[in-house]
Amino acid sequence: MNPNFITWNKHDQLLCSFLLASMSESAQSQMIGCHTSSQLWTRVSQLFATRSTTLCYSLQSHLHAQFSLKDLGDVS
């Protein structure tokens, strides 16, 4: 086996351990099946991108409900 690959693999596994150790248990459970740091990072990015988009739409909807244009009509 290529010695460079062995070194890379060791470093990658250390990075995986660090990433997993920095996550909550619920986040860790979403990482099952990830074997490389790249797979972990991609899964985390996908999970949080989805949540962030959903949160943005939810907040936007809430703000529109709280401050509709008719309520702002008196502010000029």
Residue 46 sits at the vertex; the CA angle it makes with 32 and 10, to the nearest 5 degrees, is 50
What pLDDT does residue 36 have? 96
- Residue 4 resides in a domain: no
Give the integer Cα–Cα distance in Å for 15 and 34: 12
- Residue 23 resides in a domain: no
The structure tokens listed for 18 are 């660090």
* Per-residue pLDDT tens over the stretch 10-37: 999 999 999 999 999 998 999 999 999 9
Number of domains in the chain: 1
Q: Which of 12, 11, 28, 29 is CA-nearest to residue 20?
A: 28
pTM over 0.85: no
What pLDDT does residue 70 have? 55
* Per-residue pLDDT tens over the stretch 30-73: 999 999 999 999 999 888 887 777 777 787 887 777 666 555 55
Domain that includes residue 63, residue range: 37-68
- Residue 50 resides in a domain: yes
